[in-house]
Structure formats: structure tokens, C-alpha cells
Structure 1
Amino acid sequence: MRYTLLAFLCAVTVIAYIQRSALSVPSKQIEAELALTSQDMGTVWLAWYTGYAVFQLPAGWVAHRLGSKPALIGFAVTWSALTATVGAATGFTGLAVLWGLMGVAQSGIFVCAAKAVGATFRSTEQAFASGALQCSMAGGAALSVYVTGQLLGPLTWPEILAAYAVPGIAWAAAFALVVPRPEGAGARRGTRTGRGTGAPRAPGPGPVVPVAHRPADGSALCNSSNGPARSRCSSPGSRGTCKSRRA
């Protein structure tokens, strides 16, 4: 099931990167329709990246409190809905606010993915999972430029943004139905106790201390902590000095 989880995480990464890059191709058309300058569009992108960066830590707190699955579903639905509503902006302020809020919502994707991977995959498999996510990031960015370029013309840029919201919401519904809660699956597999994850085990019982043997003459043999040498006590009840001898 962990590879099913990984497949869903890679899919939502591609979807998120297609959505977040959706304004790059039609930027000139957006400037013309909304009477914006290139500096205005730069500020719109600044709003997105600021929200995305600043809310990484709060998003991590949400993922910790709710769990990676519920948090990621909520983030995906929110950023997809905001992607669709960006096309309704009528000016610079509306576009900057809506696009910035979309960046805030997308800040949760990788903190949730990291938590899910850590809870589900063994330590020897986590690098592979991270590599798959990185591959999906690059693939999604490349697909966004190509797909948006193909759609622009047959569709207006607001229609493209509305269409891009559909995969995100559909993904959230499928993820909710198909994939079990990663933290619960990790606990059942023993990842929290270190089985198969490289986590340190709880210390076991200490070494067994051998019981001193009593020879036939009644004296006691005392084990020495300094090596193989042993000492014979001079008398059974005596606490005096012991004569050291080799075993």
C-alpha cells in the first residue's frame, strides 16, 4: 500500500505544479485584459511565493495536528478551488490576493508528503520516495508550460484555470477513498517501534552475571572484572584478602 500512497503523492505533485505555473504562459494576455504592467505581474508572483514560503511552518503544524492525509486533502481542495476563482479577478488587487492565497494553500503539499513518507516507508526506501517526488515536480512544471500553451487559444486563461481545478478536486476524492491514513498504517507495520526503519531499538536486558562457584574445599571463587584472573578467598566466611590465581 505504501507504493499506492507514493503514486498518489506523485500525482498530486504533478497536478500542483501544473496549477501553480498556469499564469506563466498567458501572462501577456492577462496583462492586456486587466491593464497590468510587467511589474504588476511580478508582484503577483511575489505574493504567491511569499505565501508559499511563510506558511510552510503553519502547514507543518496542521499536518501534525490533523495527520498527513486529512491535511493534504484539505489543502488540495482549497488550492484547487482558489485556482478556479483566480480567473474571476478583475484587477491587480484581486489577482494578487487570490494567487497569494493559492500559494498559501499549496504550502502544505510537501510537509504532508514528507510526513506520510516518513510514517510509511522504511529508512532504506525513503530516498527513493523523495526522488520520485522530485521527479514529479520537474515533470509537472514541464507539462504545465506545454499543456497551457496547447489550451490557450481554444480556451481563455480563466477557463484554463477552471479546468485545472478539476484534477485537484478529483484527486482529493480518490485519495480519501483509496489510501488509508499513513500514520495508522505505519504504526501497524511497526515503523514507530523501529522495525524495518533503522530506528534504534529499546535496550534489552543487561549481561548475565555468573554466580560464583564454591570449590570442594569450601572457599569461594570471585570473578575478577579486570580479566580472566580469579581469586580464591582464604576462608568461606572471611572478608579478608583473596589470593589471585589464573582460571
Structure 2
Amino acid sequence: MQDADNSTQESGQTTQQEVAKKGRYGILAMVFITVVINYMDRTNISVAATALSDELELSTVQMGLIFSAFGWTYSIFQIPGGITVDLIKIRILYPFILTAWSIATIVQGFVSSFAALIGCRMAIGVFEAPSFPCNNKVVTQWFNEDERAGAIAVYTSGQFIGLAFLFPVLAIIQEYYGWRGLFIISGLVGIVWAVIWYIFYRDPQDTKEAMAQAAKDKSDGKEASIAVVEDTKFTVKDVVKVFGVKKLWGVYIGQFCLGGVLMFFLTWFPTYLVEYRGLDFIKSGFLASIPFLAAFCGVLVSGFFSDALTRRWGVSKEVARKAPIILGMLLTTSIIGANYTEDTFWIVTFLSIAFFGNGLASIAWIFVSLLSPKRYLGLVGGAMNFIGALSAVSVPVIIGFLVSDGDFKPALVFICALAAAGMCSYLFLIGKIEEVKLD
């Protein structure tokens, strides 16, 4: 009779584990889709750029300013955004910001001036600012440390795999509906997804199966499979703390360099293929997808291999977490090779190797979880994204000036230098991976 009771209990525990596990993977899938939509609304401007600049008669410098306008507010609102993530439940916050930035995206389809486009891009930056601190908090809540790099890799890959397939789709939408229709359709997709998110997302503390599994893990002396992070109160002094640690600055600078490379691909890349390499618009849409597929492969290889190194083979965190980022930054410097060939195949090859490297380095968000005390997760994530987002402000404008005389080679030299600087920040500033003392 006791054996039957034990069997029933074990069966109940197994079911509980399965439900909690499925819940986590469902949540991760939702974050992945949200990242795809997030980057679609950031980058549809790059697909529309050629047609938009022709119709509105905008110069390369003006287009650089439009590309960067998103970054102005996105960077400024990172700290407030991170604080907001620590104060408001994700189920409420994410649908609100999704709807807001989607409305701003739709409005872009109705404007006809340089100033109005700048304003819309700034509005998108405001409401997208809390998005990646949200993503990081969701993963930190739902996944324990030895699974977290893989989970981060999955949702981060959304920006690459989504755009790999979306670039040709967006190009076709623009072909049939024009650049205005492109913005309107993109925004409507976001609003629909905001409703779906609110209906289906739950924080782990609101999910009985997840909390029961976490309690069981704790009673068995294991690390909880659900790492619930409690909401916290914020003081202004905390901002000074998160900017006063050398170890964290290694991550911040690395994120700026990583983001700078990404901003080239999210803004000027299609224009580079069409105007500076002479490809037609539809063909450039398909060729532009290849480096994004390479980056997608890079981020998945990085995340799951990094987790495997720590979980299966006991490799130190210093090696397992840093090596993919350092190697990725090194590979990204290969972008300079595109300056020395006129062959489209080799141009795309060099850019794909570089973006594969950018994908390898894109698990950098794992360092927020590893280095930050739990109550500072949102704030440190906001600080990291604030510095990283400064690249969205500066890099598109710098490239706009560098290419204003019709030569794109200086711009690729600049991107190569950014990658090298990011590699150095991880090599020399972060040091031993351990939680920093902020209290």
C-alpha cells in the first residue's frame, strides 16, 4: 500500500515537473516572438530607407539622423525602463509598451516630413526601452543559472532569425503596399501580439505548478528550477552604484561595441547593398537575410555550448561565458574583408562571418544575471542597455557622415574597430565572474 502511495506521489511530482517545464518553454517561445516583433519595428525603417529617402528627398546625413533617432530616446530611457521593470509586473508592462511602440510605428506610415519621422522614431525608442530588461527578468525568473545562457540565446536569436525571414517579406510588402503600408502592417502585428501576451503570460509566482516545483527543488536541496525574483523598491543612490563598478563597465562597453555592429546591420546594411553594391531591391532583401541566418546560428551555438561547458564538463564560468563573446568579436573584425572585393558572393560571405561572430557574442546578457545582485537585475540591465543603446544614437550618424562622399569603405573600417574594442573590454575589464557587491 505504501509502495502504491509512493508511486502515486512520484507520478504526481513527475506531472508537476512536466507542467512547470512546458510552462517555461512556452514563456520562452513568447519572449522569442516578442523579440522578433521588437526588431521588425526597429528595422523596417532600413527596408523603407531607399524609397522613403527618394520620395521625401532626404540626404544620407538626414537618413543617418532618422536611423539614430530611435537610439536617442532608447538610451535615455534605459535606466527609467530598468527601474520600471523592477516595479511593475511583466504581464502588465509588456502589453502596454508593445501597444505604444506599435502605434508609433503605424503613425510613421502617415507622415511626410523629416521632423515627423524623427519624432516617431523617438517615440518607438521610448517604449521599446524596457523591452530587453523585461526579457532578461523573465528568463531570470523562469530559468536557473545553468540553463540561462541557452534561454537567452533562444530569445536573442529572435532578432536574427526573425529578420532573416522578415527582410525579404518586408521587401515584398513594400513592393506591393509601399513604404507607408510597410509601417502600418508592422504596427498592426504588434498590437495583436500585445493582446495575446496579456491573455497568456503569467509570472512564475502566479503559476501554481511553477511555484510548487520551486518549493520541491528547495526542499530537496537543489537550485530552484524557477528562480522567482521579487519586485523591489528603488532609490536614486542605486544608479550611482551600478555605474561605479569596473567589472560592470567591462560589460557596458562590450555592449556598446556589440550594439554598434548590430546597428550597422539594422540600419545601413540594405542601403549598402542597393546603393553602394548595385543590387536590385528585392534581391538585396534576400541577400540581406543570409548574414542574419549566420548570426542566428552563432547565438544558438554560443548559448547552448556555453551552458554545456558549465553543466556537463565543469568548465569555469570565466572560460565558458567569456570565450564565445571574445571569439565572436574577433570574427566580427572580418567585416573589413568586404572592402577588398567586388564579388557579391565574397561581400556577403565576409558580412556573414562578421555577423556570425556578432551572434556568438550576443549572450552578453548572461553577465547581468551572473554579476548583478538579484534585486538590481532590472537596474543593471537598464544600465547595460543604456550604454549599449548609445551605439544606436551614434553609429548610424557616424556612418552617415563617413559615407557622405559615396565611399562605404571607411564605415566598414569603423565597424571593425568597434568589434576589436569590444573584445578588449571582455579581456581586460571584467576579470573574475562573481556577483558584485552593491549594498
- Tell me the TM-score normalised to structure 1 length: 0.74
| Residues 144-179 of structure 1 deviation map (CA, whole Å, 9 limit, x = unaligned) | 321111112211111111111122111111111112
In the TM superposition, residue 26 of structure 1 has moved relative to its aligned partner by 2.0
2:84 maps to which residue? 62
CA RMSD of aligned residues (A): 2.2
Query: Does structure 1 conserve the Cα–Cα contact (< 8 Å) formed by 2:45 and 2:67?
Result: no
- Between Structure 1 and Structure 2, the one with more strand by share is 1
Question: How far, CA to CA, are the matches of 2:134 and 2:198 in structure 1?
Answer: 14
Partner of residue 51, structure 1: 73
Residue 428 of structure 2 corresponds to none
CA change 1:67–1:103 in 2 (3 A) is same
> 1:143 and 1:56, CA in 2 relative to 1: closer, same or farther beyond 3 A?
farther
Aligned-residue offset at 1:198:
10
Greater CA radius of gyration, 1 or 2? 1
Q: 2:224 aligns with which of 192, 196, 199?
A: 196
In the alignment, which residue of structure 1 is the partner of 2:24? 2
Any residues of structure 2 matched to 1:68-217 within 5 Å, and which? 68-185=90-207, 189-190=213-214, 195-196=223-224
Amino acid at match of 2:31: L
Greater Cα shift, 180-189 or 169-178: 180-189
**Does 179-188 or 27-36 show the bigger shift?**
179-188
Q: Distance in 1 between matches of 2:42 and 2:212?
A: 36
CA 1:162–1:53 in 2, change beyond 3 Å: closer, same or farther?
Answer: same
Distance, in Å, in 2 between the alignment partners of 1:154 and 1:70 is 36
Q: CA, structure 1 residues 55+128, in 2 after alignment: closer, same or farther (shift >3 Å)? A: same
What do residues 20-60 of structure 1 show as CA deviations (whole Å, max 9, x unaligned)?
11011221211122232121111011111222222121111
Paired residue secondary structure (1:160) = helix
Runs of 5+ in structure 1 lacking a partner?
200-247
Question: What is the identity percentage for the equivalent residue pairs of Structure 1 and Structure 2?
Answer: 24
Structure 2: runs of 5+ lacking an equivalent: 1-22, 228-439
Please say if residues 119 and 183 of structure 1, whose CA atoms lie closer than 8 Å, have aligned partners that are also in contact. Answer: no
Q: Which runs of 4+ in 1 moved over 3 A?
A: 182-191
CA deviations over 1:111-152 (Å, ceiling 9, x no partner): 101111111112222111101012111112323321111112
The match for 1:14 is 36
Distance across 2 between alignment mates of 1:182 and 1:42: 42
Q: Distance in 2 between matches of 1:182 and 1:44?
A: 39
Name the structure where helix makes up a greater proportion of residues.
2
**Deviations 1:194-242 (CA, angstroms, capped at 9, x unpaired):** 842598xxxxxxxxxxxxxxxxxxxxxxxxxxxxxxxxxxxxxxxxxxx
Evaluate the alpha carbon distance shift between residue 64 and residue 183 of structure 1 in structure 2; reply closer, same or farther with a 3 A threshold: farther
Give the number of aligned pairs.
199
Residue aligned with 2:145, SS: coil
For the 8 Å contact 1:19–1:144, the answer to whether it is kept is: no
SS in 2 for 1:36: coil
Deviation at 1:73, TM superposition (A): 1.2
Q: Please say if residues 18 and 143 of structure 1, whose CA atoms lie closer than 8 Å, have aligned partners that are also in contact.
A: no
- Cα distance in 1 for partners of 2:134, 2:87 equals 11
Deviations for 1:60-94, whole angstroms, at most 9, x for unmatched residues?
11111112221111111111111111112221110
> Structure 2 length as normaliser, TM-score?
0.43
Give, in whole Å, the separation in 1 of the partners of 2:126 and 2:205: 24
Q: 1:31 aligns with which of 48, 53, 56?
A: 53
